[in-house]
Amino acid sequence: MATLDDVRRIAAELPGSEERATASGVSWFVRSKPFAWECRPYPSIAEELNEIIARELVLGVKIGDAIEARALRHMAPEVFLPQTTKWSEPKVAFRMAGIDGDHLRELVIEAWRVQAPGYLRREYDDANPAPTSAP
């Protein structure tokens, strides 16, 4: 099961990433923009989702667009929760117990990329070149 410590390790590799304790739990920011956050029950969230969030570790992350968010929810509805609030859209919230380490890494890095300015994305890409395939 993925943990917040796993998120911390991933976020620590991302240029400009900053962890903050907030009223709703721990959150990660880049240049004051949130890219990942611990979900907590909130009055504007549907009761059945609040029940899940109250008993399980749920993480929210920014997503590139609403279509991608819908696709994730459709592919794994047992992991990705229906829309929680309209705030910070597009985003997805997911049960950490249902995410493997590689998928968590992909979600956190992509969320960071959505929020990070170009110079920080270039810095990360220069330090982590994409693998090339053999001809």
Q: Domain locations in the chain?
A: 4-127
Neighbour-count burial for 28-66, b at 16+ CB within 10 Å, e otherwise: bbbeeebbbbbbeeeeebeeebbebbeeebbbbbbbeee
Mean pLDDT over residues 16-30, rounded? 95
pTM of the model: 0.92
Helix intervals (H) in 13-128 = 47-55, 66-75, 101-115, 118-127
Distance CA 24, CA 45 (A): 13
Tally DSSP H helices, then E strands, for the chain: 5, 5
Q: State both tokens at 112.
A: 């960071």
Residue 6's contacts (CB-CB under 8 Å, 6 or more residues apart) are 101, 104
Q: What is the pLDDT of residues 29-67, one digit of tens each?
A: 999 999 999 999 988 889 999 999 999 999 999 999 999
Residue 132's contacts (CB-CB under 8 Å, 6 or more residues apart) are none
- For domain 4-127, the CATH class is alpha beta
| Consecutive H or E run containing 6 | helix 4-12
Q: What is the pLDDT of residues 85-97, one digit of tens each?
A: 777 789 999 999 9
pLDDT band at 135 (very low <50, low <70, confident <90, very high): low
Distance CA 29, CA 16 (A): 8
